[in-house]
């Protein structure tokens, strides 16, 4: 975990769109959130060499341009696309940023092929942000707009961070609000809305010159249409050959979730570092989740930075989730989204970063080339594979593996 003073400076405006993707059609949400998180992680990783040598108070983000190409593939879903982020300071107090992000999706996931047809889709996202530094206080504003054929999202966010106690402690407060429009490509008369509010509080503490600790609290409230207009549940039906029939999912129109996290980074000799984190999540739908992260960063020679990571995630199911309901309209709320089921995932990550032009070349002060690969294993405990024909409720449990590749270049100017 890098100090929040840097996180605040680097992750806007991309984090604001990330926080509101959770109300999207869930068959696409998990992969997109993984990709955006991965992109942010590489940006932070590319700054680690500088941080190891220079831990300071609040500063404006440096002038830089970042270009990313990502690819996610797993479970019948493939997502690819570029992202471009540019930051520029206009004075000692003001800076601005702009980000453009594209997803090209090709989906034949288990949800799609068992109840619908494979599809392709394109999503485009643009965002702008402004930072203002007043002594030891950094304030940031950002706006994000995302558009695709059946989902539009707009987000406004605000963040303020303050260093105290000799710049050893950083306190950050944040708020963001998103408005989403959900449509159904099979029904031109269908249009629903959802509103998302996000509240964040974090505290970073320098324990010693080698040890950093951060704690964070986040609460998200959702209101409106929160489910996928295409997804269905299944229920027992002896009148059909399969032994079950389908009906559309029905979700509550409100949801409140809370997450608390603690992360630490310990710097070792020769500029290497260990990092670890734990996060607990719970919501009013009955889901609880635990995330454990471990990692090791190893500088190699003067220009290379190698990173190894492991992440374990374990989740319980929502109160109204079931793989197989007994009857049609058995309960008021019904869901069969695998992301609301009981499951766990494990992620193994490898990364390498190469720093070039350290002494400057022309208008370039320095640059960084990065490549990262994650291998993710998903294991579902109560979601069954309907591609296999069997007595309803006895089909094999579903699992799949996914890979995420990120190629990233950053140039400071």
Q: Tokens in use for 34?
A: 């993984």
132-136, 276-280, 377-381: least confident range: 132-136
How much is the pLDDT for 57?
55
Q: How far is Cα of residue 221 from the mean position of the Cα atoms in its chain?
A: 17
How much is the pLDDT for 33?
41
How much is the pLDDT for 118?
86
Cα dist from 49 to 2, 5, 327, 386, 393, whole Å? 11, 16, 59, 48, 53
Q: CA-based angle 79:81:87, to the nearest 5?
A: 135
What's the rounded Cα separation, in Å, for the pair 60 and 69? 26
Q: Tokens in use for 51?
A: 């941080």
CATH code that applies to domain 4-231+253-319+337-412 = 2.40.160.40
How much is the pLDDT for 5?
31
Which residues are within 8 A (CB) of 85 and not within 5 positions of it... i.e. 6 or more apart?
14, 65, 66, 67, 68, 97, 98, 99
Give the confidence band of 358 by pLDDT, cuts at 50, 70, 90.
Answer: confident
What's the chain's average pLDDT? 87
First to last CA, the chain: 26
Q: Is the pLDDT assigned to residue 21 strictly greater than 70?
A: no
Identify any residues that bridge with 325 across adjacent strands, giving them in sequence order: 235
How much is the pLDDT for 370?
97
How much is the pLDDT for 114?
87
């Amino acid at each position: 975990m890098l100090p929040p003073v840097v996180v605040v400076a680097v992750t806007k405006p991309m984090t604001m769109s990330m926080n509101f993707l959770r109300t999207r059609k869930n068959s696409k949400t998990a992969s997109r959130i993984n990709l955006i998180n991965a992109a942010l992680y590489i940006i932070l990783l590319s700054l680690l060499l500088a941080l190891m040598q220079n831990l300071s108070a609040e500063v404006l983000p440096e002038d830089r341009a970042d270009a990313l190409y990502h690819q996610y593939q797993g479970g019948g879903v493939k997502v690819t696309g570029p992202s471009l982020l540019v930051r520029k300071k206009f004075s000692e107090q003001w800076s601005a940023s702009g980000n453009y992000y594209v997803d090209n999706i090709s989906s034949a996931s288990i949800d799609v092929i068992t109840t619908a047809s494979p599809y392709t889709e394109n999503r485009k996202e643009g965002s702008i942000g402004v930072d203002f530094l007043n002594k030891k206080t950094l304030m940031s504003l950002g706006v994000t707009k995302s558009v695709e054929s059946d989902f539009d999202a707009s987000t406004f966010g605000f963040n303020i961070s303050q260093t105290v106690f000799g710049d050893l402690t950083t306190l950050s407060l944040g708020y963001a609000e998103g408005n989403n429009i959900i449509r159904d490509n099979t029904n031109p008369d269908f249009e629903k809305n959802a509103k998302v509010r996000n509240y964040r509080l974090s505290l970073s503490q320098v324990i010693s010159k080698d040890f950093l600790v951060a704690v964070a609290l986040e609460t998200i409230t959702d209101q409106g249409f929160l489910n996928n207009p295409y997804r269905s549940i299944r229920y027992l039906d002896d009148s059909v050959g399969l032994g079950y029939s389908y009906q559309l999912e029905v979700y509550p129109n409100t949801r409140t979730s809370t997450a608390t996290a603690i992360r630490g980074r310990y710097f070792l000799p020769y500029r290497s570092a260990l990092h670890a984190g734990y996060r607990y999540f719970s919501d009013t739908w009955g889901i609880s989740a635990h995330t454990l992260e471990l990692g090791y960063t190893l500088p190699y020679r003067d220009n290379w930075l190698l990173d190894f990571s492991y992440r374990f995630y374990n989740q319980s199911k929502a109160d109204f989730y079931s793989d197989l309901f007994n009857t049609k309209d058995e309960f008021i709320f019904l869901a069969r989204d695998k992301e609301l089921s009981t499951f766990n995932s494990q992620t193994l990550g490898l990364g390498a970063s190469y720093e070039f032009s350290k002494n400057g070349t022309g208008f370039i002060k320095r640059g960084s080339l990065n490549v990262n690969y994650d291998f993710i294993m998903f294991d579902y405990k109560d979601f069954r594979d309907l591609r296999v024909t069997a007595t309803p409720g006895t089909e094999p449990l579903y699992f799949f593996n996914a890979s995420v590749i990120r190629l990233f270049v950053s140039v400071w100017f």
